[in-house]
Structure formats: C-alpha cells, structure tokens
Chains A and B, each alone.
Chain A
Amino acid sequence: AQTVTQSQPEMSVQEAETVTLSCTYDTSESDYYLFWYKQPPSRQMILVIRQEAYKQQNATENRFSVNFQKAAKSFSLKISDSQLGDAAMYFCAYRLRPSGSRLTFGEGTQLTVNP
C-alpha cells in the first residue's frame, strides 16, 4: 500500500521569504502522480502543483516549485516570496497512474505567514 508522510505539522515563514514543505512517500510503483493541495480557512481544496513521476524536470507554477527526488521518494514544495494569502494547510498527495480515482494524502502541514 502506498503511504504519504509529511513530517512537519506546522511551519512558519516571514512575508517575502522562502519556505520549503517536506513530503516523503512509499510506493513500489514506478508510474504515478504527486500533488500539492492548499486548504485555506474556507476549507476549499485547491490544487497548487502537479508532478508526473516519469518527468525528471521539476514542476513550477509561478512562486511554487517542487524538488522531486524519485529515488529518495521525496517531493518537497518550495514557496518563494511568501504572501499572507499563502497561509493555509498544505497536503501532499499521491495517485497511481492510470487509476484516476484514488488519492493518498499526507497528514498536512499548517503554514503560517508572519507579516
């Protein structure tokens, strides 16, 4: 069975600074997707970034980027130039390809952004 672990229950960062959230996963599969979701106080689940395991290049979306280390089964999220609106719970998630349904989530990291 696949598992996803986020070892940092809480993180904080100063506005405009950079923060990295950690995620490790365990799988015996080679073809899968990894995601970071953001959950603000509104509870809405918002996709931040997606990484296909077969791609060596790390995904980037504006101020958000990942460090994907397939051999180490590590998938960290870097947020640059942090903004107050980045404050949220962040979840790392795994999905096997081609199965389109099942997402396995980590425990979550609560990010606080200090002005």
Chain B
Amino acid sequence: EAQVTQNPRYLITVTGKKLTVTCSQNMNHEYMSWYRQDPGLGLRQIYYSMNVEVTDKGDVPEGYKVSRKEKRNFPLILESPSPNQTSLYFCASSAQESNTEAFFGQGTRLTVV
C-alpha cells in the first residue's frame, strides 16, 4: 500500500530538548516536504527536498532542520524546541511529474511546554 508514515503521532516535550520527527514514504517519490498547521493559518511549508541531498527552505524554516540522506526518508529536527513550535506537523511526498497529487502522512501533534 502506498503511504507516507510519520512518527510519532503525538509528542509532548520540554523547551530546549532536541527531538526528531521521522517521515518515510514507499512510493519512490522525488519530492518530500514538511508543513505545519496552525488554526487560522492553514498549512505552511517548513522545508522541502527535491531529491537526495537537495533541500531548501519553505515559508517558515526558522528553528527547524531537515536532511535527505535516503530517498525514502525525510526527518524533521527541532534542535531546541520552543513553545511557539507547538503545532500539527505533516510530511508529504509527490512524484516529479507536476500533475501528481501530494500524499500526506497522518500528522504529528507536537506540544512544547
């Protein structure tokens, strides 16, 4: 089954404690992205990757890091989380052809206290 898998689905952490949210896709997609969803703001892109070792900033990259060492994985790293990073996070992947839809993971609800 084609899917994007994020882990964990829920996470509560304290300010400053480094964390990683994992994302993996089994569709051999070139493109992968991270979004955060906040009430009244919709989804905003944090970072994206066009292929292995190729990443770039989205609209709200501050406080986040990513890496793309393998095509299937695209982890999101918060090296020093702050309460304003409390949000719902989505990983998405899509194929290089522009008419293909994006596939989303199940979402990760992060709370930073």
Contact = CB atoms under 8 A, between A and B. Distances in A.
Interface of chain A, main secondary structure: loop
B32 to A, nearest CB: 8
A98 B32 CA distance: 15
A91 B49 CA distance: 23
Which size bracket describes the interface of B in this complex? 20 to 34
A33 interface: yes
B99 A52 contact: yes
Contacts of B66: none
A103 B43 contact: yes
Contacts of A95: 98
Interface stretch (B17-25, B75-83, B102-110): B102-110
A32 to B, nearest CB: 9
A4 to B, nearest CB: 8
Contacts of B100: 100
Interface of A: 4, 6, 9, 33, 35, 43-45, 47, 50, 52, 91, 93, 95, 97-108
Given A33-B98, A101-B32, 4 more contacts: A43-B106, A95-B98, A100-B95, A101-B50
Interface of B: 30-33, 35, 40-45, 48-50, 58, 88, 90, 92, 94-102, 104, 106-107
